[in-house]
Amino acid sequence: MIQEYCRLRVSPLLRIAIPITSVDEVIQLQPQDISPIPGVNPCLVGLTNQRGRLLWVLHLEKFLGMKPMPLGKPIMAIAIRSQIPTEGIRCLACVVMAVEEIMTIDSQKLIPVPEIAPPSAKVLLSGIAKLDKNTYGVLNVKELFRLLNPDMDDSNEIPELAGISTA
């Protein structure tokens, strides 16, 4: 199945692709726009108000188990959404280094995530795409929201990601 994806650079070493159907918008935040919330997963930078809608701000690089780069000024983020059957639409802002462009990927031509990849990559990526001499991990948005919202399903089989508890 051919689908459009938004290409993103999360860090100098990591590029991901997110289905365009899950992307709301690209936003720029100042550090003072984010309210930290004590006691939550350290990957969650805090909450921000985006036109009357509260969004969690996720440091995606940290969530994927990488050593995070310091947040810039301004902070670039991409707002993504997922339809949750019993709860409607959930939204989240993911911190990124850069937004590149839209690309088309045939999901049947995705390369499987290598066995040597970190556990977080195996869980969160639905495959690997190569384009313009770069490699992109295709983010499984539904799985990202499931890991951040363990109450979304009954399985209770939520793995630890890079030693960071998701509970």
- Containing 90, the helix (H) or strand (E) segment is strand 88-95
What's the DSSP call for residue 123?
H
- Where along the chain do its domains lie? 2-152
- Is residue 134 within 8 Å of 15, Cβ to Cβ? yes
Q: Which two tokens stand for residue 151?
A: 């109450």
Q: What percent of the chain has pLDDT over 90?
A: 46
The stretch 101-128 carries a mean pLDDT of: 87
d(CA 101, CA 10): 14
- Is residue 143 within 8 Å of 150, Cβ to Cβ? no
Strands 134-139 and 14-19: parallel
- Is residue 147 within 8 Å of 166, Cβ to Cβ? yes
Instruction: Tell me the pLDDT tens digit for each residue of 19-66.
Output: 999 999 999 999 999 999 998 888 899 999 988 889 999 998 888 877
DSSP helix/strand/coil, 111? strand
Instruction: Please tell me the predicted confidence (pLDDT) of residue 49.
Output: 92
Per CATH, is 2-152 categorized as 2.40.50.180? Answer: yes
What's the DSSP call for residue 164?
B
